[in-house]
A = this chain, B = another copy of it.
Amino acid sequence: MSEPGFTCVTDIRVRYAETDGMRVVYHGNYLTYFEQARTEMLRAMGLPYAAIEAMGIFVVVVEAHVHYRRPAAYDDRLQVRASVRERPTNRIRIEYAVTRGDDPAVLVDGYTMHAFLDARTGRPVRPPKEFETIMQSFFP
């Protein structure tokens, strides 16, 4: 694609534990699915999240938005698409869309906004150099 940014799709199989009494995925669990997709996206970009923490930096969620359009059920095979579309500053915004199998209909979408904290002090910091270098390669 010619549009800037980066997208990564992660397959997630719905666990029974993740459903609720309505026999669908509990709404709060999509934030965990987003987290898993974000982890795989960062790994695919060349900077695994564990490596960022090893530099003494936490990437924390400062805002989350989720739009629930259709339910997912136990054992469904979901695709969770995570994308960075805007060049990150001291914040990074990641967008998500969940689909199922061959059906292009979006079940759930949303975004999360993240800040960088010093893991010891808990204070905001700039993203690490390695992070900025990698992001520049996707937003030239």
Contacts and interface: CB of A to CB of B under 8 A. Distances in A.
Interface of A: 13, 15-17, 19-23, 26-29, 31-32, 35-36, 39, 48-50, 58, 60-69, 71, 73-75, 119, 122
A94 to B, nearest CB: 13
B68 A62 contact: yes
* Number of copies of this protein chain within its complex: 4
A31 B122 CA distance: 23
A27 B73 CA distance: 18
A50 B74 contact: yes
Interface of A is mostly: mixed
A65 B61 CA distance: 12
B65 A65 contact: yes
Given A21-B73, A21-B74, 20 more contacts: A15-B39, A16-B26, A16-B35, A17-B20, A17-B26, A17-B32, A20-B21, A21-B23, A22-B60, A23-B23, A27-B31, A27-B60, A27-B61, A27-B64, A28-B31, A50-B74, A50-B75, A63-B65, A63-B67, A64-B64
A17 B39 CA distance: 12
B15 A35 contact: yes
